Amino acid sequence: MTPSRPFHRRFGLHTRVSLGVAAVVLAATVAIAMVALQLVRGSLRASITGEQFARVSSIATGVDQKFGSRRILLQTFVDSVEAQNFQDGRPLQAFLERHKSLRLAFDNVAFLDLDGNLVANLSNASQVGTINIRDRAYFQQTVQSGLGLISRPYRNRLNGLAQIAITEPVLDAQGKVRFVISGAINLKDRNILGDLADVRFGKTGYLFILTADGVVVDHPDAARILNRLPTENGANPEIRRAIAGFEGTSEGIDESGVRGLFAFQRTDQTNWIVGAMYPSDEAFARIDAIERVALGGGLVAALLAGALALGFVRRRLTPLAALHGRMQSAQDPAAGVPEPPASYAQDEIGELARSFDQLMAQQRASEQLLARSEAQVRTIADNIPALVSHVDAALRYTFVNAHVKAMHDDGELVGRPMPEARGAEDFAVVAPYYERALRGETVIIEKAGNPARGVGDRTYKAHYIPDRDTEGVVRGVFAMTFDITDEVNVRKALTEQERRLRDVTNSIPALVGYFDREENCLFANSRARRLADLFDGPLAGVSLRSSLGDAVYAQIRPHLPSVLAGKNAHFPVDAPIQGSDGHFQTHLISDINLEGEVLGFYLMAFNITALKEAELRAAESELRLRAITNSMPALITYIDREERITFANATSHEWLGLGPAQVEGRHLEEVAGREVYLSRRPMLARALAGEKVEFEARTQRAGYDRVTQVIYVPDTRSDGSTHGIFSLALDITALKLVERQLIELARIDTLTGLPNRLAFNEFLPDAVLRGRITGHSLAVMFLDIDRFKAINDTLGHAVGDAVLAEYARRLKACVRASDMAARLAGDEFVLVIENLKQREAVAAVASKIVAQINHPAFRVDGQRIEVATSIGIAFHGPAESAVTAAELLARADAALYAAKAAGRNRYAFFVPGEGSQGKAAFPQTPPSFLEPPEGEG
């Protein structure tokens, strides 16, 4: 009887196939897009953080240079004061006012006596004698140590501005501190930190500066300046790391809860922390938009593919839907027997429908025969003088004959566990035999009757037979107990048993036969007789070959020697069934007696034609999967645990020069080459251990250099074991090329086309090293445009930008192609001239630059603009002591201030003194305007 099925809505096969196609297309599209976008996001993040850190480092270097040059200038001024040997503070005011050029570097310069009293003041002489700064820590430290320093930031008591002070002691002839010179600097001066307010990272990103203990030096929020940031509870974790000494880039959340990219760099002169915050939403805005577009495109592609597949599959599966309807009707007894169609389609579905109708006819006949057989078995089982029962693997009764029921007072036993039905004491006697039978052993024992049941004088023979399924798994136990007290009853019981076993074998869905050692057939069930056209005739003279035919016998013959030697065999056999191809799973089982002799063998064959057809359909599904993967722009392979490639898509032909058929079955080392294999073996081991592995690799074939992103995904089964690796390789060569181009663009000043500060900072140390190796002299020129701020303020930034571009063009025209000309920031430019023999050559170049900038006048948008330049020169000869790149640049910067102090529109050389910083910078005018510098002609 067919069990009733609850009515429920379900999708048809064509709809499921269409949804499957759409899902595969969507998954493949989204997977490729997301992998590519993640690679782009990672590369973009590295590029953004690299540029961010470079900008922060450049700003930190600029701050160091500004403070360094001012310290050198103040030290030079101290040398001049000590040379005058002032005995008291009265002449200091006049001396200080004669050096008004100090205003270019400081907001104010003051002389203080050892009590902290103001004795001279550059900004306001009326304050002399009215101010005392004895309580300032920087004053006390300078007096105590006798060394100059840069103070911590503080707030000016008169104007409330955030300032720092650079101090230098003035020593008397005995080397004791006589005065302290203090140079005050307003931190918001555009020549110091004021221009940092214009620095932006995105739209809302910002730059900030902290002291090493967390005091804010500069911040877009002016209320935070000179206040200490919290460093414990509630503090920004990234700020805490920077205060603890971290330098570099990181990602975190600021005090307002905004996630962003952070960069930190410390200054050398003040040990300040220069930091920058770039909001992540702004940094990755474009890639987020691309992700949304990619997901939308994948969804549209999947919907289109699903719609096309739905139309095509619905049309092709219409006959199959009709067959499905007949199959459902055939399974419903109330619907009656469905009538077969008058004709069948000439295709696979038509053949399937014809085979189904034939099978249904056979099934109806088999069901009728089985019903008669079951009735006969029940009649036989109830009438033989034996106790017959069957239990499943859980020792629950599934069948009992009438004798068993009568022994238990006709109680209902089917469905009850044996211990409950028989009682614990009775079950304990037979339990060991059932356990052996469930392990696959046929148990035959003789035992005395149970006196409690009045049969203590009887002797019984019990058989416990394992009930195996088609896979050989024991699913229950047949139990038959015979009273063998009377030999007649024994023979009768044996006869009835043989008849029952024949009925059972005739009912099972398999071909069953028994053959002796000479391959003569001694037994065949009804199915085997019908196949061999023997029906109920005698089996005398029937052999294995004659019953099966030459073709089938040839397939079985190789296994006969092992079966006759006592070893069972299992193998497939192909045989025709009603004019079509059929497939059978065949079992040859040795018949071994108690002495271990092989008397013959059983042959059991199960029809597995439907299973084979299912395998063919699975192969067709694999072809569809291969068609999909072949259309993907990536190399997809499957690598088993022996590191052999068992699957490859069509991309292998383009990338490896080998088609999938040439790759599959070969070891990875044989396909990729030993060098590539050895480089990837550690990643293969990690993936085979169950870890997902991603890495970049560079390969070259047929002259093409390819960069790939390789992903190894372990094929982990439900039991946790890894059976192989899914390998996906994406070509990211074009992405790497764009990355290299972005790195190059980061080193060019976009306004002038000259190298920027980053490129200059990389070039100058190498130039210094080349000079030491070759023994040639080197010169560094620091240049800026005189009164450039006035050009910007009066004519506008657009005109200022045009002046900078023309200045750069003329500067480049004055030097050799091998010389390095760069723009540091604003109107600050530098020149590095190598392979020099004497200072005169540098003076000639500087003179030429001053002349070229002066004449002809600049013309921007029809306006005539007079432009002049000042130049500071640091000349380094091969015989001089070794200096660093930073020291050379600081010397050139100090010389530039000296040139400006001397009247601008000229150049000046830095002349080293006995100390490490040199004594003074002597301004020089071009030879065409004033006298040549000392030591020149």
> 16: which residues sit within 8 A by CB, 6+ positions away?
none
At 775-799, the pLDDT tens digits run 888 999 999 999 999 999 999 999 9
Q: What band does 142 get if pLDDT is binned at 50, 70 and 90?
A: very high
Q: What pLDDT does 733 receive?
A: 76
Give the residue, 270 or 353, on which the prediction is more confident: 270
Res 179 pLDDT > 80: yes
What per-residue confidence (pLDDT) applies to 933? 35
**C-beta neighbour count of 782 within 10 angstroms:** 28
DSSP β-bridge partners for residue 478: 390, 465
Whether the CB-CB separation of 807 and 869 falls below 8 Å is answered with yes
Task: Give the CB-side neighbour count of residue 162, counting CA atoms within 13 A.
Answer: 20
What is the 3-state secondary structure of 557-618?
Answer: HHHHHHHHCCCCEEEEEEEEECCEEEEEEEEEEEEECCCCCEEEEEEEEEECHHHHHHHHHH
pLDDT of residue 588: 92
SS3 179: strand
- pLDDT of 521 > 80? The answer is yes
Question: Which tokens is 531 given?
Answer: 């196949």
Neighbours of 318 (CB within 10 A): 13
Quote the pLDDT of residue 888.
92
| Residues forming a β-bridge with 179 | 170
How many angstroms separate the Cα of 204 from the Cα of each of 244, 281, 427?
Answer: 26, 10, 85
Active-site hit among 357, 784, 827, 893: 827
Is a pLDDT exceeding 50 seen at residue 183?
Answer: yes
pLDDT at position 331 is 65
Q: Which two tokens stand for residue 654?
A: 């383009």
DSSP β-ladder status, 704-716 and 777-785:
unpaired
| 634 vs 755, residue with greater confidence | 755
Q: The sheet that has 704-716: what strands, in order across it?
A: 645-648, 634-640, 722-731, 704-716, 693-701
Distance separating alpha carbons of residues 283 and 857, to the nearest angstrom: 43
Instruction: Convert the pLDDT of each residue in 88-109 to its tens digit.
Output: 777 888 888 888 788 888 888 9
What predicted TM-score, i.e. pTM, was given to this entire model? 0.35
Secondary structure (3-state) at 378: helix
For residues 541 and 667, the model is more confident at: 667
Who wins on pLDDT, 895 or 507?
895
- Which one-letter amino acid corresponds to residue 575? A
Pairwise CA distance, residues 35 & 815, whole Å: 49
Strand-pair category, 869-876 with 907-911: parallel
Is the per-residue pLDDT at 239 higher than 60?
A: yes
Average pLDDT of every residue of the chain: 81
Res 5 pLDDT > 60: no
759, two tokens:
């490129």
Q: List phi, psi (to 5°) of 475.
A: -110, 0
SS3 category, 122: coil
CA distance 90 to 119: 7
Confidence of residue 451 (pLDDT cuts 50, 70, 90): confident
The pLDDT, as a whole number, for residue 233 is: 62
**pLDDT in the model for residue 7:** 43
Average pLDDT in the 195-202 region? 69
Tell me what percent of the residues of the chain surpass a pLDDT of 90.
19
Confidence of residue 849 (pLDDT cuts 50, 70, 90): very high
Cβ proximity of 370 and 341 under 8 Å: no
Write out the two tokens for 309. 């597949």
CA distance 39 to 45: 10
Band the pLDDT of 922: cuts 50, 70, 90: very low
Strand segments (E) across 221-310: 248-253, 259-266, 273-279
Question: CA 923 from chain center: how many Å?
Answer: 60
Three-state SS string over 500-528 comes to HHHHHHHHCCCEEEEEECCCEEEEECHHH
Half-sphere exposure of 181 (CA within 13 A, CB side): 26
Q: What is the mean pLDDT of residues 64-81?
A: 84
pLDDT value of position 857: 92
Banded model confidence at residue 930, pLDDT cuts 50, 70, 90: very low
Q: Beta strands 777-785 and 828-836: pairing type? A: antiparallel
DSSP per residue, 386-434: EEEEEEETTSBEEEE-HHHHHHTTT---TTSBHHHHH-HHHHHHHHHHH
Alpha-carbon torsion angle 542, 544, 546, 548, nearest 10: 130
513's tokens: 């036969």
pLDDT of 663 above 70: yes
Pair 626, 652: CB distance under 8 Å:
no
Task: Give the residues across from 588 on adjacent strands.
Answer: 569, 603
Q: Both tokens of residue 237? A: 């974790």
> Is 50 exceeded by the pLDDT of residue 476?
yes
For residue 629, give the amino acid letter: T
Q: Would you state the pLDDT for residue 357?
A: 75
Q: Is a pLDDT exceeding 60 seen at residue 696?
A: yes
Q: Say yes or no to pLDDT of 9 above 60.
A: no
Cis ω before 856 (30° cut-off from 0): yes
What is the amino acid identity at position 225? Answer: I
Residue 715 three-state SS: strand
Residue 702 — pLDDT band, cuts 50, 70, 90? low
Query: What is the rounded end-to-end Cα distance, in angstroms, of the chain?
Result: 124
CA-wise closest residue to 689 among 657, 645, 724: 724
Q: Is the pLDDT of residue 705 over 80?
A: no
Identity of the residue numbered 753:
G
- One-letter amino acid identity for 649? N
- In angstroms, the CA 18 to CA 303 distance is 9
Euclidean distance between CA atoms 785 and 788, whole angstroms? 5
Q: In which residue are the tokens 């006995």 written?
A: 914
Query: pLDDT per residue over 557-614, tens digit each?
Result: 999 999 999 899 998 988 887 667 788 889 999 989 888 899 899 988 888 877 777 7
What is the residue type of 591?
A: D
- Pseudo-torsion of CA 146, 151, 155, 160, nearest 10°? 80
Residue 603's φ and ψ, nearest 5 degrees, are: -120, 120
Q: How far apart are CA 332 and CA 4, in angstroms?
A: 8
Largest CA distance in the chain: 151
pLDDT of residue 375 exceeding 70, the answer is yes
Tell me what the mean pLDDT of segment 619-636 comes to. Answer: 72
CB 474 within 8 A of CB 443: no
Residue 2's pLDDT is 45
Write the DSSP symbol of residue 36: H
Res. 333: pLDDT tops 70: no
| 189 included as an active-site residue | no
CA distances from 843 to 414, 764, 838 (A): 117, 20, 9
Q: What is the mean pLDDT of residues 356-360?
A: 74
Question: What is the percentage of the chain residues whose pLDDT exceeds 70?
Answer: 86
